[in-house]
Structures are given as structure tokens and as C-alpha cells.
Amino acid sequence: MFSQEMMDSIKKIEATRQSRIGADLRRMTADEKEKLLKEYHPDFVEDGFSTLEIGPNKGDKVPHELADLLQANSRLLDLDNYKDLSELEAELIEPDYDVDVLIIGGGGAGASAAIEADEGDADVLIVTKLRMGDANTMMAEGGIQAADKANDSPAQHYLDALGGGHYTNKPDLLHKLVTEGPDCVKWLNDLGVMFDKDSDGNMITTHGGGTSRKRMHAAKDYSGAEIMRVLRDEVMNREIPIVDFTAAIELILDDQGKAAGAVLMNLETKEILIARAKTIVIATGGAGRLHYQGFPTSNHYGATADGLILGYRAGAALLYADTLQYHPTGVAYPPQIFGALVTEKVRSLGAQLVNCEGEAFMNPLETRDVSAASIIRECRTHKKGIATAEGEGVWLDTPMIEQLHGEGTIEARIPGMMRMFGKYDIDIRKVPILVYPTLHYQNGGLKIAADGMTDIENLFVAGEAVGGIHGRNRLMGNSLLDIIVFGRNAGKNASAKCKAVETGRLSLKHVEAFAAEMAAAGIETEKVSPLLLPSYTHGREND
């Protein structure tokens, strides 16, 4: 399946492989890393960003594509069956759903929140624009961090995540993440997640980029899928109602400005529905499908930052919305899976990043931002990438894994990767694969306190839609952990809080107010948001 040029380059990789095995690849110094990031990381590409002109983060920079949606028209202002907003507002007194806790989003964070809210005896409703479980959680391959080994501690985990996050993580959120980590892994284990263990029950743990202890727990390379299918099953066992193929298109506040529900739209019939709730959890995930700076993405189909739009329009502030994670190893070839994730576990198991000359140009276990920037430099400046139809890439030397750990390791530990490439006649046990950074994770998001609540009373956020836990760069394995820790946290607190909530009169005044603010700032746009789904044409317009 590889081109002749690629095959020629592979010969050079094979020629240097033996000498690279066991070679001590130096880690970069703090100064080297800083310089590299400033020059090559997409977060530092100035013309990729715009300054917000209105809203709680006025004056802050965010990617153009996000700014365009944050400062776009509400879908409520142009609904087919409603003359104007007041006609819709008149319907708010007779909601279609009336619940204690409304959870928007059906991924790992939403499911965890739902289970805990149900455990707290709340009346829970999950709405999700695709199916329950269609989420980035399902695609998290590598693993989940937790400091549960004898040589490790929550403090060590804290230090790793803080340094990896360039010391910008919110201390109280990070403290919660690492301290509750082991309990969350145990919670998953007790729900029946099949973690990789040895015959004595010890969790098999590995390194991830930027970890100082081997604390990456995995379920082969289906870690997120295994977690998601168990959580989904548990939600169903508890008979928690799920309204699928239905998107939240605007939050509803009450007359005191507290969150009190959401306007929903059935994506298939376009029917508008009103959900009233005492507390709300936004668990809508990331933004990869906005394709910032033209990058491909490893994210699922619905990752369009909807929760950020809903929250921002209702007055919730964002934090670090200008920082994204580009996973260093997205698929560069073949084109059918361009941008798909090659799990970091491949590097955890020892595969090196190698240029077209067969040189290992970096230590493969640097943090993700540093690794991504280093690959971009290797291609753009050092000109040692390998050309592909979609751009270029460097080699990830997978056959090394079998040499390091024995034959059969790839099939046992990263079967998903073997299958994904195998479908295109690439046997990753025998040949290396081509990779290039892919848009992977939204480091920033809505700002919360340690109880999971935003600045808006009764509005909680969990999962990738939260900003601050990981600072400006997230370590591998901390997002699966974050969705569980903060999903459970939001579910518990949202159910506890709803007992005392007296919802006032429902209102959509904030939608009008935001439109007025846009007009006052002279923002005129055709765009409506949230985006809900991306649209792809695969070059049809050029054929």
C-alpha cells in the first residue's frame, strides 16, 4: 500500500533500527522546549486567532473558527415554526420535559454524571445530539492515569500534570483530579471495566508523554471504548431516560438569571422541545470538528464546541479557550484514515519517531505539545518528512515494539491499531507507519469551581467542555480520568443542589441581550450557532 518513495525510506528506517534500540534519546531542556513551542506549535500561530469583541471574555483571543461561532446568531432567532422569540417564550410555561437534573451530552462525562445524579435520587434526563456513547470517550485509546502504585502518589501525579500544563492548571481542579483518581479507577473496575492486569491483580501500567511514574492504566487500546460501553450499559440498567438525536440549541435561564433548562431540537424532525430542570450539566465535549487552522482531527463527528457556545451566550466565562492539543501522532497515510488517532501507547511501548533518513529525532515520550511541535519542525524546517497525498509525515517505528517486548506484543496490547492499518494492507508489526499532528483535544473550555459549577448558578460543566484542569496542555490519560472525576463530581453536586432549587419564571431574555450586544459591537454575520454537525464534501465542488 505504500508508494515507492515511502518504501525506499522504509529501507533506511530498517537499516538504522538495530542501532536505535536501547539508544538513550536525550530529553529536551525546559528552554529548548519553550523555544520549540513558540516557533512551531499551532497555538502560537498568531493569524490563527481572533479577539472576542463581546461576552464575558471580551478582549481574549480564541481560534477564528470558535470566535465565529461564539459571536454568531442564535438558532432561536430563525426557527421555521415560530414567528419570533416571544412566541417560543410563551411555550416555556409548558415544558415537554420537567426534571431535576438535565445532562446535555452522552459521552463519558455525561454518563458518569447521570449515574451519580441517579445515585443521588434525582430525576435525571440525558439529551444527546447523536447516540448515547457517540463521543470522544469512545475513541480514547491509550489509557487512564491514576497514582495507585507503591512508588507513586497523588502529589507526584500533580507535579507531572502541572509541569505538563506549563504551570497554568487551576490548582484546586488539578488537586481534585489527582486525589480522586484512584477512587475513580476503582469505581470503573467495580462497574466491570476490564482493565489490563497481571495474574496477581496488579494493574499493568505504562508511561505516557510527560509522566514520571508508570501510571497509565489501559484496556488494551480500547480503553475509552471499554469505559464508554460499560458506562452506557450502566445508564441503561438504571433506566435513566435518554433523548437521542436531539441537540440543546440554547440554555434557558430563569428570571433571576439562574440556569433553568434548555431549548432542544430533534435533529431528524427539527421539532423544538423545552426541557425545564433545576440543575444542568453541560457535558458536550470538544471541538475537533471545527478543524482549527485546517488540521485534520481525531475527534468524533459531533465535536463542534456546542457547550461552549451555549454557556457563553448565557454569560458563562471561558478559560484557556485559545489552547488546543494537537496529538503528535495522527495518521498521515493512508488517506482514508487521515487524521485518525494513533494512540500514544505505541510510543509508550517503545516505538520511536524517525525521519526519512532513519534518524530518531527526539525522545518519543516528550509531552504532546512538544512532540507535535518537534514533528512539524522536522518536516517544515529540517525537510526530513515524507510526502503524502494530504501533506507529509514522519515514521513511527512500530516494528521496534516486537523487538523490544517480544513477538505478539502488538496484537496483545494495541490490537485496535493493528486492525485499523490492517484494513489498508499495512501490517504495523512489519512496517512503520506515517504520522503527523492531528487536532485532538480542547484544553480550554468553560470555567468552573471545584464543585463543577460555572459562574451561572445551577449550571455545571464536566469533561472536555471544562477549561482549567489541564492548564495549557494535557497529559495523555488525564482526560479519561477527568471525565470520570468531574463527571461524577458534577452529577453528585447537581443532584444535591437541585433539592433546594426553586426555579423562577423561565426566560430567553439573555438570547435577545446577546443579539443586542452583537449589534452594538457592529457584528453582522450569516452564521448561526451552535454548529451541531460539520459538513463535508470531500472535494465535490472541484470535480
Partner 1 sequence: MREMVNVYIMGKKYTVPEELTIMGAMEYAGYQLIRGSGCRNGFCGACATVYRIKGRTELQACLACQKQVENDMYLATLPFFPLIKQQYNINEISPEEQLMMQLYPEIYKCIGCNACTKACPQELNVMQYIAYAQRGEFEKCAEESFDCVMCGICSSRCPAGISHPQVALLTRRLTGKYLAPESDHLKQRVEQIASGQFREMMQSIMQKPLEEIKELYNKREIEQ
| DSSP at 165 | T
- The angle that helices 368-380 and 30-40 make with each other, rounded to 10 degrees, is 60
By beta-carbon proximity to partner 1, the closer residue of 12 and 214 is: 214
Contact segment (CB under 8 A) with partner 1 among 60-68, 212-220, 271-279, 449-457 equals 212-220
Contact segment (CB under 8 A) with partner 1 among 65-73, 120-128, 130-138, 308-316 equals 130-138
Is residue 341 at the binding interface for partner 1, with CB under 8 A as the rule? yes
Q: How many residues bind partner 1 (CB under 8 A)?
A: 84
Instruction: Count helices and strands (H / E) in the chain.
Output: 17, 23
Is residue 504 at the binding interface for partner 1, with CB under 8 A as the rule? no
Query: 422-452 b/e with 16+ CB inside 10 Å = b?
Result: eeeebebbebbbbbbbbbbbbbbbbbbeeeb
CB of 201 to partner 1, least distance (A): 3
By beta-carbon proximity to partner 1, the closer residue of 419 and 505 is: 419
Catalytic residue among 347, 377, 470, 472: 347
By beta-carbon proximity to partner 1, the closer residue of 406 and 539 is: 539
Is residue 101 at the binding interface for partner 1, with CB under 8 A as the rule? no
Is residue 236 at the binding interface for partner 1, with CB under 8 A as the rule? yes
- Residues numbered 20-39 forming contacts with partner 1, rule: CB under 8 A: 30
- Residues numbered 469-488 forming contacts with partner 1, rule: CB under 8 A: none
Grid cell at residue 231: 458506562
Contact segment (CB under 8 A) with partner 1 among 37-45, 79-87, 174-182, 369-377 equals 174-182
**Is 419 noted as a catalytic residue in this protein?**
no
**Candidate list 35, 58, 186, 430; residue touching partner 1; CB under 8 A:** 186
Among left, alpha and beta (phi > 0; psi -120 to 50; other), residue 208 is beta
Find residue 326's DSSP bridge partners. 439
The C-alpha atoms of residue 71 and residue 274 are separated, in whole angstroms, by 24
Q: What angle do CA 285, 286, 292 make, to 5 degrees?
A: 165
Is residue 213 at the binding interface for partner 1, with CB under 8 A as the rule? yes
**Is 347 noted as a catalytic residue in this protein?**
yes
Phi, psi of 520 (to 5 degrees): -65, -30
By beta-carbon proximity to partner 1, the closer residue of 222 and 514 is: 222
Helix (H) or strand (E) holding 377: helix 368-380
**Candidate list 2, 49, 97, 158; residue touching partner 1; CB under 8 A:** 158
Is residue 171 at the binding interface for partner 1, with CB under 8 A as the rule? yes
- Residues numbered 290-329 forming contacts with partner 1, rule: CB under 8 A: 298, 300-301
The C-alpha atoms of residue 353 and residue 384 are separated, in whole angstroms, by 12
Is residue 185 at the binding interface for partner 1, with CB under 8 A as the rule? yes
By beta-carbon proximity to partner 1, the closer residue of 62 and 420 is: 420
The C-alpha atoms of residue 56 and residue 447 are separated, in whole angstroms, by 11
Catalytic residue among 276, 327, 368, 472: 327
Is residue 207 at the binding interface for partner 1, with CB under 8 A as the rule? yes
The C-alpha atoms of residue 316 and residue 334 are separated, in whole angstroms, by 41
Is residue 104 at the binding interface for partner 1, with CB under 8 A as the rule? no
**Candidate list 23, 87, 93, 167; residue touching partner 1; CB under 8 A:** 167
By beta-carbon proximity to partner 1, the closer residue of 32 and 255 is: 32
By beta-carbon proximity to partner 1, the closer residue of 57 and 363 is: 363
Is residue 82 at the binding interface for partner 1, with CB under 8 A as the rule? no
The C-alpha atoms of residue 543 and residue 531 are separated, in whole angstroms, by 27
CB 158 within 8 A of CB 460: no
Is residue 109 at the binding interface for partner 1, with CB under 8 A as the rule? no
The C-alpha atoms of residue 58 and residue 194 are separated, in whole angstroms, by 46
Is residue 506 at the binding interface for partner 1, with CB under 8 A as the rule? no
CB 305 within 8 A of CB 127: no
**Candidate list 3, 151, 256, 381; residue touching partner 1; CB under 8 A:** 151
Build a one-symbol-per-residue string for 368-397: x at contacts with partner 1 by CB under 8 A, - elsewhere. ------------------------------
CB of 358 to partner 1, least distance (A): 25
- Residues numbered 514-533 forming contacts with partner 1, rule: CB under 8 A: 533
The dihedral through the CA atoms of 193, 198, 199, 201 has a sign that is: negative
**Candidate list 4, 26, 83, 199; residue touching partner 1; CB under 8 A:** 199
CB of 153 to partner 1, least distance (A): 6
By beta-carbon proximity to partner 1, the closer residue of 55 and 107 is: 107
By beta-carbon proximity to partner 1, the closer residue of 82 and 245 is: 245
Report the amino acid identity of residue 86: S
Nearest to 461 by CA among 472, 471, 450, 470: 450
The C-alpha atoms of residue 468 and residue 472 are separated, in whole angstroms, by 8
CB of 194 to partner 1, least distance (A): 4
Build a one-symbol-per-residue string for 259-278: x at contacts with partner 1 by CB under 8 A, - elsewhere. --------xx----------
| 136: three-class secondary structure by DSSP | helix
CB of 162 to partner 1, least distance (A): 7
CA dihedral 406, 408, 362, 153 (to 10 degrees): -90
Among left, alpha and beta (phi > 0; psi -120 to 50; other), residue 22 is left
> Other CB atoms closer than 10 Å to residue 402's CB: what's the count?
18
- Residues numbered 397-456 forming contacts with partner 1, rule: CB under 8 A: 415-416, 419-420, 423-424
By beta-carbon proximity to partner 1, the closer residue of 318 and 418 is: 418
Q: What is the CA radius of gyration of the chain?
A: 23
Nearest to 107 by CA among 247, 246, 228, 234: 228
**Candidate list 16, 50, 179, 507; residue touching partner 1; CB under 8 A:** 179
Enzyme catalytic residues: 327, 347
